[in-house]
Structure 1
Amino acid sequence: MTDAVPVAALTTISARRLPGALLIGGAIVLVLLATAALAQYIAPYPFDQMHIRDRFSPPSLRYLAGTDEYGRDVFSRLLIGSQLSLLLGVTATVISMGFGVPLGLLAGYRRGLVDEAIMRVLDVMMAFPPILLVLLILAITSPSLMKTAFAIGVLSAPPIGRVTRSVTLDLMSGEFMEAARARGERLWYVLWRELLPNVWPVLMVEASLRVVFAVLLGTVLSFLGFGVQPPAADWGLMISNGRGFVTMAPWISLAPGIAMGITVIGISLLGDGLREVLDPRLSGRR
């Protein structure tokens, strides 16, 4: 049998033995998810409501993160922007997994010509600079959140496919695979019932990295004007709009930058903690 730690092992490990990265990252991610889910209810003002007389107001009890050039509450826009960033990151990761995991499983199981054909296509996709490939996809149609998520998801599929293939090749020598071949199981059964459950622990860690990549790339695209369009409360747009007022109202760009940094750190810590728990080599060290 394979030596991969099953996902269910997370429920049997006591909190004392959980790595600090997993606890801290999990707490940050839970807070981010709760904030995004309740953003509409805890935001002090509508994200697009203008207070013209209070333009460029510094952080205060009335405006916790100040206001922007239109008098909009930056804190309210941060809360709503968390929904867009997390939705983009999760959607892009789901799309990349949907493309990359089946290709990686098929390449690792079939090997030979099938493996070569799939991997060469993935190599060609990875040869392009990420930002240029996404811009090429978005240039075909008008920018939107779902189109940006799809473009980033397609871009992230090759790394997912390569990781899946690598793990699949390691699992091919397991006894459970020999038993499946001896029973004459069909291709779909072997891929989804035998290989996929054993690949998931590694894919969970890789998925956390893809979410971070999607959030960062989505912010860059919005900053360049190819992502979510105004007046949406997107962190990248907020940073871009505030760069012209960085000397007189630095909080306009600083607040979304800090929010994005906390998000990236939290998801990264969660991924590192999951890797430490699910990787048998690291779990044995603990």
Structure 2
Amino acid sequence: MTPSASPVATTHAAPLFELDRATVVRGATRVLHDLSLRIPLGQHTALLGPNGGGKSTFIKLINRELYPLAREGDAPVKVFGLRRWNVNELRNRLGVVTSDLTRDLQQMPYLRAEDAVVTGFFSSFMVPPHRQVDEGMRRRARRALDDVRALSLADRPVAELSTGEMRRVLIARALVHEPEALLLDEPTAGLDVVARQHFLALMRTLAQRGITLVLVTHHIEEIIPEIDRVLLLRDGVLHADGDRAATLTDAHLSHAFGGPVRVRHEGGFYRAEPDHA
């Protein structure tokens, strides 16, 4: 995200995310087609779809790495009701954890886990030369690590962390501002079976604490029971939008993923497998 002009006024009644006929073109390819959606604060939501369906483009719109096509009328993309936002103000309300952040952290192998969390105050994995890290920041960083059951990692270099441990550190980094919402991009990618279950339990804990979760994924197994709305995206178009039971069906997923899929529901979780019948 990049700093911009002062944001227009808003209230807490504004949606967390709002896209109004947002269209994105990359090269000669239209990757989002007049996409309209509205995610209220407080509604845990999953954005589900196959690779190449437009999920990453949605995240880049929120991060301001991409911009929608300009058109007359209201802004195509708003966050907390703002069409323009300052990164220093937005990060106090919205935490973002993406695969790009994982790669960035891996480039800082000698950084201690606690220091990695502290850098969340500066929107960089480095402390700017003109800024100081005070004890209050360190207390908040340790509290965030404790919140995700990673306080024992505080003094370890990130190079020594497993993928699951690194993911917890990144969540702590996002939580250091005590945000109202978290945007999570494929959070269990690269995790083994045990680490994946631990991470899903962490997601449930965060949701139950009242932090709004927006999960972007192509795995329905990641959609925890607390997530009550699923948006199904394919080829940059919204194909379904509803509660989990209405959206996670054989028909919807078979259409979205381009082949016969059978959906199973057990213990509050959904699972999908190819239907070879």
> TM-score interval w.r.t. the shorter chain?
under 0.3
Structure with the bigger percentage of strand: 2
TM-score if structure 1 supplies the norm length? 0.22
Structure with the bigger percentage of helix: 1
TM-score if structure 2 supplies the norm length? 0.23
Larger RCO, structure (CA 8 Å, separation 6 or more): 1
